[in-house]
Structure 1
Amino acid sequence: MKSVFKLIGATAVALSVAGSAYAEDPVKIALVHGISGHSFEVFSKQAQTGFALGLEYATGGTNTVKGHPIEIVHKDTQFKPDVARAVLAEAFEDDDVILAVGATSSGVTKGLLPIAEEYEKILIVEPAVADSLTGPDSNRYIFKTSRNSSMDMQAQALALKPDANLHVATLAEDYAFGRDGIAAFKSALEGTGATVETEEYIPQGTTDFTAATERMFNALKDKEGRKVILIYVAGGGDPMGKIKDMQPERYGIEISTGGHILPVLPTYKRVPGMEGAIYYYYEAPKNEINDWLVATHQERFDGPPDFFTAGGMAAALAVVKALETADEWDTESLIAAMEGMSWETPKGTMTFRPEDHQALQSMYHFKIKVDDNVDWAIPELVREIKPEEMNIPIGRTN
Structure 2
Amino acid sequence: MRARNIFVGAAFALLAAGMGHSALAEDIKIGEINSYSLLPSFTEPYRKGWQLAVEEINAAGGINGKKLVVISKDDGGKPADAQTAANELVSSEGVAMLTGTFLSNIGLAVSDFANQKKVFFLAAEPLTDAVTWSKGNKYTFRLRPSNYMQAAMLVEAASKLPAKRWATIAPNYEYGQSAVAVFKKLMSEKRPDIQWVDEQWPPQGKIDAGPVVQAVAQANPEAILNVTFGPDLVKLVREGNTRGLFKGREVVSFLTGEPEYLDPLKDETPEGWIVTGYPWYSIKTPEHDAFLKAYQAKYNDYPRLGSIVGYQTIKAAAAILAKAGSTDTDKLIAAAEGISMPSPFGEITFRKIDHQSTLGAFVGKTAQKDGKGVMVDASYKKGSDYLPSDAEVEKLRPKD
TM-score, normalised to structure 2, is 0.85
Are the counterparts in 1 of residues 258 and 277 from structure 2 also a CA contact under 8 Å?
A: no
Report what 1:345 is aligned to. Answer: 343
Deviation of 1:214 after TM superposition, in Å, equals 2.2
Structure 1 gaps, min length 5: 1-13, 222-226
Cα distance change on mapping 1:327 and 1:74 into 2, 3 Å: closer
CA distance in 2, matches of 1:383, 1:76: 34
Are the counterparts in 2 of residues 340 and 351 from structure 1 also a CA contact under 8 Å?
A: yes
Deviation of 1:270 after TM superposition, in Å, equals 3.8
Cα distance change on mapping 1:367 and 1:100 into 2, 3 Å: same
**Which deviates the most, 305-314 or 352-361?**
352-361
Report what 1:41 is aligned to. Answer: 40
Structure with the higher fraction of residues in helix conformation: 2
Report what 1:326 is aligned to. Answer: 324
Report what 1:218 is aligned to. Answer: 218
1:271-313 CA distance string (max 9 Å, x none):
5641423243313544333212212222332221001110111
Report what 1:175 is aligned to. Answer: 173
Report what 1:6 is aligned to. Answer: none
SS state of the match for residue 259, structure 2? coil
CA distance in 1, matches of 2:266, 2:190: 28
Cα distance change on mapping 1:362 and 1:146 into 2, 3 Å: closer
What is the aligned-residue RMSD (CA, Å)?
2.6
Are the counterparts in 2 of residues 248 and 254 from structure 1 also a CA contact under 8 Å?
A: no
Deviation of 1:153 after TM superposition, in Å, equals 1.6
Are the counterparts in 1 of residues 349 and 359 from structure 2 also a CA contact under 8 Å?
A: yes
Deviation of 1:82 after TM superposition, in Å, equals 1.5
Cα distance change on mapping 1:363 and 1:173 into 2, 3 Å: same
CA distance in 1, matches of 2:366, 2:229: 19
CA distance in 2, matches of 1:197, 1:310: 37
Q: Does residue 379 of structure 1 match 2:375? A: yes
Report what 1:106 is aligned to. Answer: 104
Report what 1:55 is aligned to. Answer: 54
**Which deviates the most, 72-81 or 173-182?**
72-81
Q: Does residue 256 of structure 1 match 2:252? A: yes
**Which deviates the most, 87-96 or 279-288?**
279-288
CA distance in 2, matches of 1:352, 1:246: 45
Instruction: Output the amino acid matched with 2:98.
Output: A
Are the counterparts in 2 of residues 156 and 276 from structure 1 also a CA contact under 8 Å?
A: yes
Are the counterparts in 1 of residues 213 and 245 from structure 2 also a CA contact under 8 Å?
A: no
Instruction: Output the amino acid matched with 1:198.
Output: D
Q: Does residue 234 of structure 1 match 2:233? A: no
- Counterparts in 2 of 1:275-354, with a 5 A limit? 275-354=273-352
Decide which of 333, 344, 363 is 2:361's aligned counterpart: 363
**Which deviates the most, 178-187 or 237-246?**
237-246
Cα distance change on mapping 1:66 and 1:187 into 2, 3 Å: same
Deviation of 1:97 after TM superposition, in Å, equals 0.4
Instruction: Output the amino acid matched with 1:49.
Output: K
Report what 2:5 is aligned to. Answer: none
Deviation of 1:35 after TM superposition, in Å, equals 2.2
Report what 1:26 is aligned to. Answer: 27
Are the counterparts in 2 of residues 170 and 182 from structure 1 also a CA contact under 8 Å?
A: yes
> Could you tell me the percent identity over the aligned residues?
20
TM-score, normalised to structure 1, is 0.85
Cα distance change on mapping 1:162 and 1:201 into 2, 3 Å: farther
